[in-house]
Structure 1
Amino acid sequence: MEHKSAKKGIFNRFLDVIERVGNKLPDPIVLFIILMFTILGASFIGGMMKWEAVNPADGETIQAVNLLNGEGIVRIFTEAITNFSEFPPLGMVLVVMIGIGIAEKSGYFETAMKRAIEVSPQKLILPAIILVGIIGNVAGDAAPIILPPLAAMVVMKLGYHPFVGLVMAYAASLGAFAANVIPGMTEALAIAFTEPAAQLIDPEYSGNILMNYYFTAVATFFLLFIVYFVTKKITIPRLGTYEGETAADQEPLKKEEITALRWANISAVLTFLVFMVFLIPENAIFRNPETGSIIQDSPFMNSIIFVLTILFFVPGLVYGLKVGTIKTTRDFGSMLGDAMGTMGSYVVLVFFAAQMLAYFNWSNLGPIIAIKGANVLEAVNASGIPLIIGFILLAGLINLLIGSASAKWAILAPVFVPMFMLLGYDPAFTQMLYRIGDSFTNPITPMLPYLPLLLAFAQRYDKNAGLGTLLSTLLPYSIVLFFAWTILLIVWYLIGIPLGVEGPIYLPE
């Protein structure tokens, strides 16, 4: 008999309501258009009513600017292209996609995931799947799309219900989304919104994609244990034995695929070593020529996005050439075109997001809201641990309704980054709080396109499986991940360890 889906309880009915409400929200692109006009309207009201606030950093009075007067309208039209072309996330994300795209489309990512699972000892199979899921988020869509069905087939060989592999891999790749030992596009997207938000308060502020790295690297292995614990103690006992029709065994990797993967990995190591030659020696060209620093204003940090692109690009290209997925220059060009083609909606979203953020900046509404909000938080003594928990929960709840991480942070960063700065917290800390909130509810949000795909995979094993079946199985991961993420950050906060490279918890005095 196939595993029977659990009856929907109060919480599952609540999630159904969330899904219906979330589906009625406009597309993120339309949402930004609405926000653009909302900000313009608010700037008009604020300018007419003379909204203002005193910046505690320098004592200057900040006044709301009406963008619907003659001068504002001219600025809206004349600077629209500049807002778009100079928007920080655009160039970074598109460049990274060159590397990630060739690695994904050539089959390198998929083969690497399969091989990692194949060569692991049986006792390490579950931890290996979880680790691949967590680290795999650097590959964008690859982990939540490719790994769950592979994991389902693998765990069936261990005698577990295939749903164990599906939900465990899905929860690992999305619930631990902010954790990784390999910095990638996620970090680039986050800092690209954090930095301009911080510059509303400190125009000289400069962040980097490694400013959360120490924390996210430690979280990778801590959350591996957490996901494994939930799987062994909750998921496996709850699902029981699978007695349905066994799916066909996964085809093992072919000899040529393993050979191609080996050469690709060798090329990745050699490329990494070349960069180390540029970085490690005392007078290396990637160091700051004046101070010798690797981090502070160094060519390495200024080119880190392009470095990561090459580290993805080289093994992807080598794999494609060796295995035969890239036979001609047309194949190569087509793969890059397909990878960039997936970014079309993102580019359109960026255009409207750039306008919205520009209007928000020009209107001075961000600093005024931040100062007023900080005053309220100070009045109610909202700081420390309650503030940490409150903001993580807020971001997690918003994530249930808006799936796009960049869309959410584009909206929240201009308000909360300045607000937390006025309370003494570094933007690196606020960014990490948001990334945690954006992660732990990922497995249960219906706003991500992966959940319907996961349901389709589940119905291969149980035709009666529904959304409630998946959500009730994924819910324990989200709950435990919330506590795990939060406790880890609170401990980090209490000890006072920097979150990453030039990523302190508090602003320097």
Structure 2
Amino acid sequence: MNNQSQRVGLLQRLLNSIERTGNRLPHPVTLFALLAALVAIVSAVLSLFGLEVVPPGGGEAVAVNNLLSAEGIRYIFGSLVDNFIGFAPLGVVLATMIGIGMAERTGLISVLLRGFILSIPKSLITFGLVFAGIMSSVASDAGYVVLPPLGAMIFAALGRHPIAGLAAAFAGVSAGFSANLLLSATDVMLGELTIQAAATIDPAYAGSLNLAMNYYFIIVSTFFLAIIGTLISQFVVEPRLGRYEGDYQGEESTTITALEKRGMKWASIAFVVTLALLALLIVPPGAPLRGEGGAIVQSPFMSALAVVLLILFFVPGLVYGIVTGAVKNDTDVANELSKTMAGMSMFIMLAFTAGQFVAWFAESNLGTFMAVYGAELLQSISLTGIPLLILFVLIVGFINLFIGSASAKWAILAPVFVPIMMQLGYSPELTQMAYRVADSSTNIITPLMTYFALIIAYAQQYDRDIRIGSLIAVMLPYSMAFMMFWTLLLIVWLLLGLPLGPGSAIHYGG
């Protein structure tokens, strides 16, 4: 490892170049403001040519709306606040984070992750680390803070290389971010953007979409990626790292206290009771959250998934906090939730500029033009089907090296690629899942990922010579394997024509 980190080879130079290029990009908040300004300028230029196209969904021809005309300027000033408030993911993400934040701030999620890892047999510890990492995405950032150092400690205690334990956990948390057995804020956030983008082409079809549109696929992906990550760890990463000869002696406890166990017990009871009460609103015939004719897929339940997630996380988190003493009164509840919302301040600022870009892009009709001409271009070079899907995954994976935020990238890409893929006969559900595959897979090899520096700090406790290139060299096999095999799984799904989620489709027939 030490010699490896000292050599500056081709890969190291490439990664250094990526880091320098990415650092030159504006902050995502600034980037969206610049993109919104670019949309206004392009709309003004194209409107001079009087171009018109017929939307993919049919109907009357549309022209580019000039956002710098008198009418366009009135729209910009008059809709600024509405564009911010109406940014699709804003309300649902903040609402969902109230519940997740309560479970995270009281320590419930942290102790559940520790409990899972400590309860499985030693022979399954690698699989358990990757699996727990994938599952931790329901709690957003908690997995990054808890699992990599825990994985390193457990591997060290077992006489295995601690960096291998850290890497396995990091791969699950970050590269497997879009897989899970549960729906999370990611489904809510990306789903809202996908529905919004699909509505520019076919509002009726967009109205039939739900936030669980990828649920079946991400369930299967959870076990699939856990197996892939385990194989990469045991047959590629650990042999390459060799025997650990460091002298680090950690003082962290890997046990669970009696109080924490008591808290988990009562939190589990609270979860079951809450789930049962919610089931009464969904399962019985005529239940208020069922749709017409007793439908579940197209129902108030699916439309209110953010609220359901809020409740399912909030109640057990609150009960755990009360039992362990983390929450003593309503003031503590308010304070903890305030800290959660404070952590979302960057997302709120991002929503302001992203909301303008998304709204201006739709108002200008540039999305319709890009959908029509982009589809025609791809058809003219006979790029459709599986090659098109693979190209899209590679493009997104490359962009992810420079722009880490999944929501920021999808806010940019969804208005362009969702309509193009719909024009070529592929559903928004498929496009979103392809995006999620690519976005997750390369998280662990970009120094621009938010928690990359934290992972290096954890790793340096065991090997002081580890630098950016060293960590990326460890994580690169995971990234390549996840992207290749996960894309292959999606291709098999496409060929079999399986639904990606409740009521979802692979092909768009609008």
TM beyond 0.5? yes
Q: How does 1:320-399 map to 2 (within 5 A)?
A: 320-399=321-400
Aligned residue in 1 for 2:93 = 93
Aligned residue for 2:418, secondary structure, equals: helix
* Counterpart in the other structure of 1:232: 234
| Separation of aligned partners in 2, 1:74 and 1:373 | 30
TM-aligned CA deviation for residue 3 of structure 1: 9.0
Asked if structure 1 preserves the Cα contact closer than 8 Å seen for 2:56 and 2:201, the reply is no
Say whether the 8 Å CA contact 1:3–1:242 is kept in structure 2: no
Q: 1:270 aligns with which of 269, 273, 278?
A: 273
Deviations 1:456-493 (A, max 9, x none): 11111111111111000000111111111111001011
**CA distance in structure 1 between the aligned counterparts of 2:393 and 2:128, rounded to whole angstroms:** 28
Residue 82 in structure 1 maps to residue 85 in structure 2? no
TM-score when scaled to structure 2?
Answer: 0.97
Deviations 1:138-162 (A, max 9, x none): 1001112221001100111221111
Task: Report the counterpart of residue 124 of structure 1 in structure 2.
Answer: 124
Q: Identity across aligned pairs (percent)?
A: 43
Residue equivalent to 2:285: 282
Q: Tell me the residue number matched to 1:50.
A: 50
**AA aligned opposite 1:230:** I
TM-superposition CA deviations, 1:171-196 (whole Å, max 9, x none):
11111111111001000111111111
SS of the aligned residue for 1:279 comes to coil
Cα drift, residue 60 of structure 1: 2.8
- Deviations along 1:115-136, one digit per CA (max 9) or x if unpaired, are 1111111112111111110010
Q: Which amino acid aligns with 1:480?
A: A
- 1:9 is aligned to 9
1:254 maps to 2:218: no
Q: How far did 1:437 drift?
A: 1.1
- Three-state SS of the structure 1 residue aligned to 2:293 is coil
Instruction: Please give the alpha-carbon distance, in whole angstroms, between the structure 2 residues aligned to 1:55 and 1:106.
Output: 50
The residue identity in structure 1 corresponding to 2:293 is: T
* Greater mean alpha carbon deviation, residues 222-231 or residues 83-92: 83-92
How large is the RMSD of aligned CA atoms in angstroms?
Answer: 1.4
What is the alpha-carbon distance in structure 2 between the residues aligned to residue 403 and residue 106 of structure 1?
Answer: 28
Q: 2:167 is matched with which residue? A: 167
SS in 1 for 2:103: helix
Q: Which runs of 5+ in 2 are unaligned?
A: none
Partner SS for 2:294: coil
Counterpart AA for 1:392: V
Match of 1:312? 313
Aligned to 2:459: 458
Q: Distance in 1 between matches of 2:348 and 2:56?
A: 37
Matched residues in 2 for 1:54 and 1:168: separation? Answer: 50
Q: What do the CA deviations read for 1:272-319 (whole angstroms, capped 9, x no partner)?
A: 12212222222322212x4111121x2211211101110010111111
Cα deviation for residue 216 of structure 1 reads 0.6
* 1:177-256 map, 5 Å: 177-204=177-204, 205-206=206-207, 207-251=209-253, 252-256=255-259
Secondary structure at 1:500 match in 2? coil
Please report how far the alpha carbon of residue 6 of structure 1 lies from its aligned counterpart in structure 2 after TM superposition: 6.5
CA distance in structure 1 between the aligned counterparts of 2:56 and 2:243, rounded to whole angstroms: 62
Q: Which residue pairs with 1:103 in the alignment? A: 103
Aligned-partner Cα distance in 1 for 2:436–2:395? 12
Question: Which range moves more in the overlay, 389-398 or 83-92?
Answer: 83-92
CA, structure 1 residues 4+72, in 2 after alignment: closer, same or farther (shift >3 Å)?
A: closer
* C-alpha displacement of 1:57: 3.2
Q: Check whether the contact 2:211–2:303 (CA below 8 A) recurs between aligned residues.
A: no
* Whole-Å separation in 1 of the counterparts to 2:27 and 2:450: 13
Q: What is the rounded CA distance, in whole Å, between the counterparts of 1:420 and 1:4 in structure 2?
A: 43
Distance 2:318 2:114 in 1: 18
Partners of 1:461 and 1:388 in 2: CA distance: 40
Q: Work out the CA distance in 1 between the residues paired with 2:272 and 2:237.
A: 37
3-state SS in 1 of match to 2:62: strand
CA distance in 2, matches of 1:508, 1:34: 35
Corresponding pairs, count: 507
Within 1, Cα distance between the matches of 2:418 and 2:449?
A: 25
- Write the deviation string for residues 63-105 of structure 1: whole angstroms up to 9, x where unpaired: 1111111111011101111111122211000000100111111
Which letter does structure 1 place at the counterpart of 2:287?
A: A
The residue that corresponds to 1:18 in the other structure is 18
How far, CA to CA, are the matches of 1:220 and 1:81 in structure 2?
39
Aligned to 2:32: 32
CA contact (8 A) 1:210 1:500 kept: yes
Q: Which residue of 2 aligns with 1:506?
A: 507
TM-score by length of 1: 0.97
Aligned to 1:447: 448
Opposite residue 228 of structure 1, the aligned amino acid is T
Contact 2:248/2:461 (8 A) holds in 1: no
